[in-house]
Amino acid sequence: MNTQRTAVFGGGCFWCTEAIFKRIKGVVRVEPGYAGGQTENPTYHQVCRGDTGHAEVIRVTYDPQKITYGDLVEVFWQVHDPTTLNRQGNDVGTQYRSIILVKNEEERKVAEQSLRKAQSDFKRPIVTEIDHLKIFFPAEDYHYDYFSKNPNQPYCFAVISPKVKHFIEGNPEKLI
């Protein structure tokens, strides 16, 4: 019996969040994609132009016997700045918004409770959206494992590498 579950998060560039979540114990797979917009089958270029309303997100497949949905939400707060509206660092636009896309009321309750708890860790108000996941559109193939395949690409080297290093150093107990 397949007991795996999925969770969908948007915390800026999906290359960044994918690079971190794929290192976490209990995570089986991480897929970059798009969600939260109105266009069917959006492309990366459409999403980057802001034409679709979608956010860059990751779909995390996990084993709930090894990690809980709540644990994943806690990691989500650590891997981006949920207090900046429609941006992460120099990545600006609604496609980079902080968003948790839930599939049911149980996930909504966990996400909302976690948000209230996480607020004490931030000086500014958290602006993360919590919304119902309507549909997840997988990103184009070249986005999968982007950081692993392109560690010396300037964005990967300057932005993603320090985020991954910081997370690894601060959370060794959560790593594979």
pLDDT tens profile 130-175: 999 999 999 999 999 999 999 999 999 999 999 999 999 998 888 8
In this predicted structure, the answer to whether residue 51 has a pLDDT above a threshold of 90 is: no
Q: Does the pLDDT of residue 78 top 70, yes or no?
A: yes
Residue 1 has pLDDT above 80, yes or no: no
Domain residue limits at 31: 5-174
Q: What is the pLDDT of residues 4-39, one digit of tens each?
A: 999 999 999 999 999 999 999 999 999 999 999 999
What is the mean pLDDT of the segment spanning 106-111? 98
Mean pLDDT of the chain: 95
Burial letters 110-144, b for 16+ CB under 10 A, else e: bbeebbeebeeeeeeebebebbebeebbebeeebb
Non-local (6+) Cβ contacts of 5 within 8 A are 61, 62, 64, 69
Active-site annotation holder among 13, 16, 48, 156: 13
Active site residue 16: no
Q: How many domains does the chain have?
A: 1
CATH number, domain of 61, equals 3.30.1060.10
